[in-house]
Structure 1
Amino acid sequence: MNVDTFKKGGDNRSHHVHIYQIGSYEIKRLLAFRYYLKSHPDEMKIYGELKEKLAQQLPLNMKSYINGKDYFVKNIELKALE
């Protein structure tokens, strides 16, 4: 995967930007995920609640936070890419 991530603001960050090479599969995957959630507000709510719960439980452990979302995200991605 060829990606750069830029973060600004430390604990109070205001931006999180991903940059991909033109034609990258990651672009399709991320946009499909985004649009799927926008069209399924019930699942968007569940995802938001999961993120909040993990952020409260793991405020200093980004790797565990990401791993905690992984199962949910992968299931949504499968649905979104169908």
Structure 2
Amino acid sequence: MSPAKVIRERILVESMRLLSLVPISVKAAMVELGFGDQVAFTHFFKKLTGIPPGKFHRTRSHFIKGGCFIGLLKTINTKNRVLKG
């Protein structure tokens, strides 16, 4: 796995953690992760997961089981959406 892929996966996992387990807004998560604007963060998140971060944040209980994102990441990887490039 290339260093860029590792970094993208790490940022994705941290964004999922922030949006699901921490009482934080999408905008605050974006700033915490170092994105310059919300459009860039939304594009990054949606490109890798297939859903916008706001929807993930609102419906997080549907995506997370016991605070673990491994199953979700495997599902995303299976669909070949995450870690392209």
Q: Which has the larger radius of gyration?
A: 1
Per residue, is there more strand in 1 or in 2? 1
**TM-score over 0.5 (shorter chain):** no
TM-score by length of 1: 0.29
Which gives a bigger RCO, structure 1 or 2 (Cα 8 Å, sep 6+)?
Answer: 2
